[in-house]
Amino acid sequence: MSRSFAIAFCLAAVAVCATEVSARTVYRCIRDGTVSLSTAPEPGSKCEANIIDDNAAQTPNLWGEMGVFSGTLYEREQDGKLVYGTRNLPGSRVYLRFTVETPEGEPAHEGLGEVEAPILDRHARQFKAAARKTGVEDAWLRAIAHAESRFDDKALSPKGAQGVMQLMPEIASEYGVTDPFSAAQSIDAGARHFKKLLRLYKNDSTRAIAAYNAGIGAVARYDGVPPYAETQAYLQKVQALYQRYKTALAPPPLRPADATPMPSKPAVNRPALDKSDTSKPIPNKSASSKSAANKPAAKEPATNRPAKNKLAAGKPAAQEGSPK
């Protein structure tokens, strides 16, 4: 097997023969600045397990960007089991020789912009036009441009991405861009490309952003966001910027028509009741009312009133409120 990723396929196939449990596990091991692949962790190396899907259309590149090279797959015994790997460890025997061609590096990059306050005065007219044309939110387009280039129409990334929307040359060509450093052409093509990705992933913005950064192939290989550090950082950056631009571009809140705002009523400061102070009992209103109802009325002071008749004159006047 001499094509790209062939050694990973070979290791997976050997693993299937060795044990059904680890049929799709290949370890990427690093030691002294070198990389090897193995069906089990290598003693003395820092190894990371990778699960290979048997039905994957393309096996992930576990080597990295290393061009074309020839190597050897070795067989050895480890912990009572046969283990296969590409590093010549003590006790190893040659199993087969191979040549592998690793692919060029992914276009993923973290972006030139940082998460900061929204910048609303750069290419505003072009963003609004692209949003109207494609139906993609203005906030998404500005967030991508901010993360990619910080709105620099002359930006050029180490991976070769160009312009405001940092389009790779083949993507720019697909959308008819003749000048990748034209802000209008870059924003228009970037908006159409992101619209295509949203449609492809059924409006899953997370996958669409990952594909914008690392490519559709990478998202397909990993069935989701690729594990590239650049893509992970880029995704978080764009999502954070989107929220900021969505807030900044939102219309002002509605207010009642033909109305005058009224000042709010000042709060009344009432002395707080200190419940801990028990020196003065709190009067019980119901009890006070009840006791007041049963209490006889106060006597009025006696006054000298003329008697109505001789019979009444010989008796004291009845007191108001006293029992008859």
- Return the active site residues: 148
Q: Report how far residue 186's alpha carbon sits from residue 120's, in angstroms, rounded to the nearest whole number.
A: 17
Identify the CA nearest to 189 among candidates 138, 141, 122, 225.
141
Query: How many Cβ atoms sit within 10 Å of the Cβ of residue 67?
Result: 10
How big is the chain by its Cα radius of gyration, in Å?
42
Q: Report how far residue 319's alpha carbon sits from residue 298's, in angstroms, rounded to the nearest whole number.
A: 10
The answer to whether the beta carbons of residues 108 and 228 sit under 8 Å apart is yes
The answer to whether the beta carbons of residues 183 and 191 sit under 8 Å apart is no
